[in-house]
Amino acid sequence: MAAGAGAFAPSSLPSTSFASSKAFHASSSPSSPLGRSSFSLAGASRQVGAPALSAASWQRSEGLRGARASSFGVVITGAAGGVGFSYADEFLARGHRVVICDISPKISQAADALRKKHSNAQLYEIITDVSDKNSVSQLASFAKEKLGTINYWINNAGINGGRRAFVDVPVEQVEAVVKVNLLGALLCTQYAMKTMLQQPGVTSHVFNTVGSGVKGGGTPGYVCYGATKRGQPQMTKSLVDELTKGVQGYEKKEYPGDVKQVHTLSPGMVFTQLLLDDSTPELRKFPFGVLAAQPEEVAADLVPKILSTTEQGSSVEFLTTDKILFKLFSRFVLQQKSEYIDDDGNVIKRPGAQYDENGVRALF
């Protein structure tokens, strides 16, 4: 991953809500191969019922009582696996209406798994390439048709392009990472805003996912990824200023809907393909074994925070400073062992669970 074993700052490692380094496009699934020549896979869509395998947590139970009073429409990109899949599970558990998308055909399997758990939920899925404007336009239209009102749009999709020296990265991969992570975020945010601004009396929220490099720290091995993530806070701040102040020299436009809420979302280190692919035993021992979490744990923590966010331009984080210090204290002062990584740097596998060759646990 993007940092040496001695580094533990959240910004020093790629966010793990994204696809495998072997995935060419915006997917939480490792099934899309690098080097794919075509980005556009728009068109295949179907309605599904819902279901997932997220852990019941105290965060979820705390928010469930009041959550069902209002059912919100939620769009989640990159949801064929990983934290995107777990976000969907958490929103569905609270009675919200959800559209999930991914470039991978596995989005259908993800939706089927969610249906098994949430039999009465309103869940819809569509194949989407976030780097293609026509595909994103179709996603926005599909979401509006199925959900009626879109209250939350979470741009979770992304790729890291593989861990290697920048001079060895094929130009095609450079283009892919920039198109998916940066162009994709811009396109999805624009289409989300265009849709939301036409919703009379509705205040809507857009969350853009940040990761390693967001604060300007180096991301050796992931130069392209870090560069794309560094731009997310700047984009968010620019949008906040436009929505609140307008553009200097132009008359500020008024719209039926209210999209004054644009934020960044940081899932931190999550045990997915992106984190574990190309990792070493030393990296798995630290920082992964100390700071990383399972997708369900991250989603259970972040979804209530997303739903309770009210301030413009908020930064919603899983690995807060207090949480980092607590985890470090528990490991190095109290000498508590990791429940996910053993002393040799191997993934600890749960009985009955399925894992791939990198030690990533299957969520469905």
The three-class DSSP label of residue 66 is helix
Is residue 68 a contact partner of residue 97, using CB atoms and an 8 Å limit? no
14 near 7, Cβ under 8 Å? no
d(CA 145, CA 165): 44
Cα gap 27→80, rounded to integer Å: 6
The catalytic position among 87, 225, 250, 255 is: 225
> Residue 91's closest CA among 133, 58, 121?
121
Q: In sequence order, what DSSP letters do the residues of 129-169 get, joined into one string?
A: -TT-HHHHHHHHHHHHHHHSS--EEEE-------SS-GGGS
225 is known as an active-site residue = yes
Cα angle vertex 124, ends 316, 77, to 5°? 35
Tokens encoding 98: 């959800």
In the three-class reduction of DSSP (H, G, I as helix; E, B as strand; rest coil), residue 42 is classed as coil
Residue with tokens 């791939």, as numbered in its chain: 356
Contacts of 241 (CB under 8 A, 6+ apart): none
The distance in angstroms from the start CA to the end CA of the chain is 25
Q: Among all residues, which ones are annotated catalytic?
A: 225
